Amino acid sequence: MKQEKRPFNKLIPIPFQQVIINDLFWSNWQDINRRVAILHQYEQLEKAHHINNFRIAAKLKKGRHKGEFYYDSDIYKWLEAAFYILQQNKDDELKSKVDEVVTLILKSQLNDGYINTFYSTNFIERRFTNTTFMHELYCAGYLIEAAIAHYNATGSKKLLDAAEKFMNLIYTIFMGEKKVNPPGHQEIELALMSLYRLTNNKKYFLLAEDFINRRGKDANSKRYILSQFLNLNSTQKQAKEMALKDGESNEIEDFYANLSFNERIKFYYAILNGTCYQLNIPVRKIRDPTGHAVRAMYMFCGMADLYADNGDEDLLDALIRSWSKITEGKMYITAGIGSVNGIEGFEKDFKLRIKNSYSETCAAVGFLMWNWRMLQITAQAKYADLIEKILYNSLLVGQSLDGKKYSYTNPLISNGDYDRQEWYLCPCCPPNLARTIASLGQYIYSKSENALFIHQYIGSTLNFEINEVPIEIHQQSEFPWQGKVKLKIFLGNNLTFKIFLRIPRWSKKTRIEINGELLKDDLIPNRYIEINRNWKDKDEVTMIFEMIPNILDGDPRVKDIKHMVSISNGPLIYCLEQNDNKNFDITHIQIQENIPLTVIYKDNLLGGINVIEGKIVSGEKFVAIPYYTWNNRGTDKMLIWSQKA
């Protein structure tokens, strides 16, 4: 699995296959992912009819597709996660499940290459008539990603060949007849770029580029979108009627049932004017990202992949503008994005409500993926810094500590009525988390010519090469509880190369030692420090980042957090849960800005965490816990922001 330098990227990613995570914090998450979450998800996919849809499409069972029309995508994400796990762990139980699912997918492929159980078990003649709302291209994208993971894990080309056959069909249909409609849910673009990189087949690049370039053209007019919307309704109606005829019911719960009247109006308006699915404007002209956050993230990933290969500066400018817009005015303190219900997406700048904040877990995954691409393009620390924030906050909060419950939306405040669930009608988030946690190793390091970049401080063993010289690096990290990190370098012969170390934004004082001797202690945060030397076997680098708790002021431009404060420590955002603060109602407290805060490690609380203690204005002690750990002791009141005294 060798990654090549893309022509316009500064960095070369190091794939997770070269990194073995051995970390105080993350190993446990990977372990839960491998032992619990992946199997729990399989059971749910079985219960919710996802796997049966493939059995039916493969003609091993009678019936029709049940559930949401994009259920195939959840299977593909789950498979991708399972392949990542299997690549680093032997697990016969998981392997037999994976083998069965792969066989079902292969058997459900039509002769011309088409795979999609919603259409193939219902009405194949309707296929590709609605790329705005239906998710054939979205599912196809995840199929590609699963197929690449399968190939990398096993060397088998079976699933990859099937995915390529499907892509050739899509290529013929979409490039041949020049259909004008791009996918309403982006995903296939980034997947096609990965397929292009693996196979070197230019067709995939051209198709990805074409899908990206088609956005915002005349064909995405309101009239066209309306006709697609009517098609969506008639397609779903027909599917229901056909099921009823068979004596089956295919009652699909209304995903949007809980939308208020205003949210509903806003939602339909944003769909029809194209802003919800980013169909309203050519991608290079985007100034202010709108609409569905997951779609936007996947689109930005596709654009970044395209830039990495074609160097189109207009694409990069749009990406940089969009990133600034989002991080300045559309992102929560947790790095969560997409604040609005209904469109599941972006509001105007600084309209970040904290009650019912949406902040979908998949949006955190997509944001991570996009930041990773921006980092490879630019080698700028701000992207790695944000990745760290996403990982420890908006992403991890999406899963319970035991790996069996998930959150779809992630509130920043709760009055006690919110709970993670074992599964969702739309279960896009759980397998998205599983594949991210399983492949976490890919986010830690990159290479460039004669240099290693260390982006994340996660205990791990890395094997890589510089100028064909093998190098092993052992990283030991005390994150996120303490700021100390150690690197040990193993080399055959002395070698001169550079190591770039990220100084996190939150570390106001950083000390770096080499073999016990001070190298520097006046380092500016949020950038990389370059160490260029002739490294010898067993050299040791020690970094001590200042990790102290802080009280952060709410941005006065955001109405909901004006005159409010929150607490952070290193990469973690903290919250108050009522459970830890029994002497007062957490919703009615005031906290002063400059109070002393104490950090205490509690071994037996929530898997082992640092709590932060301080005093509220009335003099009573408060206890704050890391945001990602909330809602693991039942439903409870929780808040990130408190009134400033």
Residues lying near ligand FUB in the complex (CB under 6 A) are found at 70, 185, 294, 344, 360, 362, 426, 428
Closest CA to 292 of 426, 397, 434, 130: 426
CB of 322: closest distance to ligand FUB in angstroms?
18
Question: Looking only at residues 187 through 206 of this chain, which bind Zn ion when binding is defined by CB under 5 A?
Answer: none
Using the rule CB under 5 A, give the single segment among 2-10, 417-425, 426-434, 561-569 that binds Zn ion. 426-434
DSSP string, 511-525: EEEETTEEEES-PPS
- Angle at which helix 188-199 crosses helix 136-154, to 10 degrees, equals 30
Q: Which lies closer to ligand FUB via its Cβ, residue 306 or residue 362? A: 362
Rounded to whole angstroms, how far apart are CA atoms 195 and 109?
Answer: 19
CB of 184: closest distance to Zn ion in angstroms?
16
Q: Which lies closer to ligand FUB via its Cβ, residue 145 or residue 360? A: 360
Q: Which lies closer to ligand FUB via its Cβ, residue 185 or residue 266? A: 185
Residue 395 binding Zn ion, by CB under 5 A = no
Residue 588: what residue type? H
CA angle 44, 47, 51 (to 5 degrees): 90
Q: Which lies closer to ligand FUB via its Cβ, residue 429 or residue 561? A: 429
Using the rule CB under 5 A, give the single segment among 41-49, 427-435, 472-480, 604-612 that binds Zn ion. 427-435
Residue 56 binding Zn ion, by CB under 5 A = no
**Position of minimal CB gap to Zn ion:** 362
CB of 424: closest distance to Zn ion in angstroms?
8
CB of 429: closest distance to Zn ion in angstroms?
4
CB of 318: closest distance to ligand FUB in angstroms?
21
Q: Which lies closer to ligand FUB via its Cβ, residue 291 or residue 480? A: 291
What does DSSP say about strands 609-615 and 621-626: parallel, antiparallel, or unpaired? antiparallel
**Position of minimal CB gap to ligand FUB:** 294
Q: Which lies closer to ligand FUB via its Cβ, residue 173 or residue 426? A: 426
CA angle 599, 601, 606 (to 5 degrees): 120
**Terminal-to-terminal C-alpha distance of the chain:** 55
Question: Looking only at residues 291 through 330 of this chain, which bind Zn ion when binding is defined by CB under 5 A?
Answer: none
Residue 429 binding Zn ion, by CB under 5 A = yes
What does DSSP say about strands 19-21 and 598-602: parallel, antiparallel, or unpaired? unpaired
344 makes contact, choosing from Zn ion, ligand FUB, none, with CB < 5 to 8 Å by partner type, with ligand FUB
70 makes contact, choosing from ligand FUB, Zn ion, none, with CB < 5 to 8 Å by partner type, with ligand FUB
Q: Which lies closer to ligand FUB via its Cβ, residue 184 or residue 570? A: 184
CB of 353: closest distance to ligand FUB in angstroms?
18
CB of 428: closest distance to ligand FUB in angstroms?
4
Q: Which lies closer to Zn ion via its Cβ, residue 185 or residue 511? A: 185
Q: Which lies closer to Zn ion via its Cβ, residue 429 or residue 454? A: 429
Rounded to whole angstroms, how far apart are CA atoms 292 and 278?
Answer: 8
Using the rule CB under 5 A, give the single segment among 59-67, 229-237, 281-289, 424-432 that binds Zn ion. 424-432
Quick count: other Cβ atoms within 10 Å of Cβ 93? 10
Q: Which lies closer to Zn ion via its Cβ, residue 428 or residue 625? A: 428
Distances in Å between the Cα of 546 and the Cα atoms of 336, 458, 479, 487, 623 are 25, 17, 11, 17, 21
Query: Any idea what DSSP says for residue 48?
Result: T
Question: Looking only at residues 575 through 604 of this chain, which bind Zn ion when binding is defined by CB under 5 A?
Answer: none
Q: What are the φ/ψ torsions at residue 289 (nearest 5 degrees)? A: -60, 135
CB of 361: closest distance to Zn ion in angstroms?
5
Query: Any idea what DSSP says for residue 393?
Result: I
185 makes contact, choosing from ligand FUB, Zn ion, none, with CB < 5 to 8 Å by partner type, with ligand FUB
Q: How many CA atoms lie within 13 A of 69 on its CB side?
A: 25
Residue pair 355/560 in contact by the 8 Å Cβ criterion: yes
Rounded to whole angstroms, how far apart are CA atoms 144 and 310?
Answer: 22
Residue 362 binding Zn ion, by CB under 5 A = yes
CA angle 214, 288, 379 (to 5 degrees): 85
Quick count: other Cβ atoms within 10 Å of Cβ 312? 15
Question: Looking only at residues 445 through 464 of this chain, which bind Zn ion when binding is defined by CB under 5 A?
Answer: none
478 makes contact, choosing from Zn ion, ligand FUB, none, with CB < 5 to 8 Å by partner type, with none
Rounded to whole angstroms, how far apart are CA atoms 266 and 225?
Answer: 16
Query: CA-based diameter of the chain, in Å?
Result: 78
CB of 426: closest distance to Zn ion in angstroms?
7
Stated as kind and residue range, the H or E segment containing 43 is helix 38-47
Closest CA to 477 of 509, 445, 508: 445
Instruction: Output the six-digit token pair for 639.
Output: 């808040």
369 makes contact, choosing from ligand FUB, Zn ion, none, with CB < 5 to 8 Å by partner type, with none
Residue 326: what residue type? I
CB of 67: closest distance to ligand FUB in angstroms?
12
CB of 426: closest distance to ligand FUB in angstroms?
5
Stated as kind and residue range, the H or E segment containing 463 is strand 460-466
For the chain, helix, strand, coil in percent to 5 are 45, 20, 40
Residue pair 326/337 in contact by the 8 Å Cβ criterion: yes
CB of 408: closest distance to ligand FUB in angstroms?
8
Length of the chain: 645
Residue pair 371/383 in contact by the 8 Å Cβ criterion: yes
Q: Which lies closer to ligand FUB via its Cβ, residue 360 or residue 577? A: 360
396 makes contact, choosing from ligand FUB, Zn ion, none, with CB < 5 to 8 Å by partner type, with none
Q: Which lies closer to ligand FUB via its Cβ, residue 316 or residue 395? A: 395
Residue 428 binding Zn ion, by CB under 5 A = yes
Q: What are the φ/ψ torsions at residue 382 (nearest 5 degrees)? A: -60, -30
CB of 503: closest distance to ligand FUB in angstroms?
34
Residue 375 binding Zn ion, by CB under 5 A = no
Total residues at interface with Zn ion (CB under 5 A): 3
Query: Any idea what DSSP says for residue 390?
Result: I
Q: Which lies closer to ligand FUB via its Cβ, residue 433 or residue 576? A: 433
Residues found near Zn ion in the complex (CB under 5 A): 362, 428-429
